[in-house]
């Protein structure tokens, strides 16, 4: 579903070029939750923005469903849903209006959009506030709208960038359930996080990213075997500890 091949991203600054990510190579398979684990500043968001066509790689190639993210960005955008903890919602729109707007942006036919919106409102238990303006919504309510908005066009690949940062345990649990249900539907999911227990609980395979480089890649069991350790936080520090 996704291929990242020898990707490098370099940013120009007044003091010279800064490398955001260097020679990243990994893939995400259909029906898989792939965890991109690393601390803040490791290059996770830069990587996801290149996948989502919001940035262009300096070199290397990213493809989604066989489409190149640079030369075929329109086709890629039809295949992906993107959710960040920084994703805002339009506070003067109701949840139903927001979902309809994004369905229109993606060119979803009216009848399909209505059915899809009804399903998402039921799935995320938004019926009680579906026609209320979003100003004054709790963080959990806003996150439900944001997730539903990312799914309204029925994408094949869903990107979660630190989706539970700042959420309470109830809202975080709703995000976790969403990721699990997407896997059951056969969707591909990328979960970018620095929260170790999320990776242990949710991810089929894990890529450990640090200082813009991929240090390890495998299932939790493979990483345990590689390091001789059990818990993800211990595994992470074993993998990157010598460098840090």
Query: Would you state the pLDDT for residue 169?
Result: 84
Greatest mean pLDDT among 16-20, 22-26, 238-242? 22-26
Residue 87 has pLDDT above 70, yes or no: no
Q: Give backbone dihedrals phi and psi of 208, rounded to 5 degrees, phi first.
A: -90, 115
Q: What is the mean pLDDT of residues 76-98?
A: 86
pTM: 0.87
Residue 232 has pLDDT above 80, yes or no: yes
Query: Would you state the pLDDT for residue 101?
Result: 93
Question: Which residue, chain included where needed, has tokens 């890649």?
Answer: 217
Beta partners for residue 3, in sequence order: 27, 63
Cβ atoms 188, 2 nearer than 8 A: yes
Find the angle CA(82)-CA(86)-CA(92) to the nearest 5 degrees: 95
Q: pLDDT category, 153, cuts 50, 70, 90?
A: very high
CATH of domain 2-240: 3.40.50.300
Cβ atoms 53, 73 nearer than 8 A: yes
Q: pLDDT category, 85, cuts 50, 70, 90?
A: low
Query: Would you state the pLDDT for residue 242?
Result: 56
Q: What is the mean pLDDT of residues 27-52?
A: 92
For the record, the structure tokens of 17 come out as 């070029």
Cβ atoms 56, 68 nearer than 8 A: no
240 DSSP 8-state letter: H
Determine how β-strand 16-28 pairs with β-strand 205-210.
Answer: unpaired
For the record, the structure tokens of 234 come out as 């211990």
Residue 164 has pLDDT above 90, yes or no: no
For the record, the structure tokens of 242 come out as 């010598």
Query: How many angstroms separate the CA atoms of 188 and 159, rounded?
Result: 9
Query: How many angstroms separate the CA atoms of 186 and 163, rounded?
Result: 20
Domain boundaries, given as residue ranges, for the chain? 2-240
Query: Would you state the pLDDT for residue 72?
Result: 95
Q: pLDDT category, 136, cuts 50, 70, 90?
A: confident
Determine how β-strand 2-13 pairs with β-strand 16-28.
Answer: antiparallel
Q: Which strands make up the sheet holding 157-161, listed edge to edge?
A: 80-84, 157-161, 188-193, 33-37, 205-210, 213-218
Query: Would you state the pLDDT for residue 7?
Result: 95
Q: What percent of the chain has pLDDT over 70?
A: 98
**Could you tell me how many residues make up the chain?**
244
Query: How many angstroms separate the CA atoms of 158 and 192, rounded?
Result: 11
């Amino acid at each position: 579903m996704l291929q990242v091949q020898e990707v490098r991203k370099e940013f120009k600054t007044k003091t010279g070029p800064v490398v955001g990510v260097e020679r990243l190579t990994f893939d995400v398979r259909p029906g898989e939750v792939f965890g991109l684990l690393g601390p803040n500043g490791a290059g996770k968001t830069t990587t996801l923005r290149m996948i989502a066509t919001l940035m262009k790689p300096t070199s290397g190639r990213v493809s989604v469903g066989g489409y190149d993210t640079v030369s075929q960005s329109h086709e890629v955008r039809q295949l992906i849903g993107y959710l960040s903890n920084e994703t805002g919602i339009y506070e003067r729109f109701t949840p139903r209006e927001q979902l309809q707007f994004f369905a229109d942006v993606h060119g979803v036919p009216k009848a399909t959009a209505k059915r899809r919106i009804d399903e998402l409102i039921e799935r995320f238990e938004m019926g009680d506030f579906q026609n209320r303006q979003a100003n004054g919504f709790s963080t959990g309510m806003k996150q439900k709208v944001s997730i539903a908005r990312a799914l309204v066009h029925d994408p094949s690949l869903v990107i979660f960038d630190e989706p539970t940062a700042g959420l309470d345990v109830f809202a975080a649990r709703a995000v976790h359930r969403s990721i699990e249900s997407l896997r059951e539907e056969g969707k591909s999911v990328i979960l970018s996080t620095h929260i170790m227990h999320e990776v242990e609980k949710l991810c089929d395979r894990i890529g450990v990213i640090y200082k813009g480089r991929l240090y390890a890649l495998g299932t939790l069991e493979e990483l345990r075997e590689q390091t001789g350790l059990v818990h993800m936080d211990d595994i992470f520090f074993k993998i990157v500890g010598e460098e840090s």
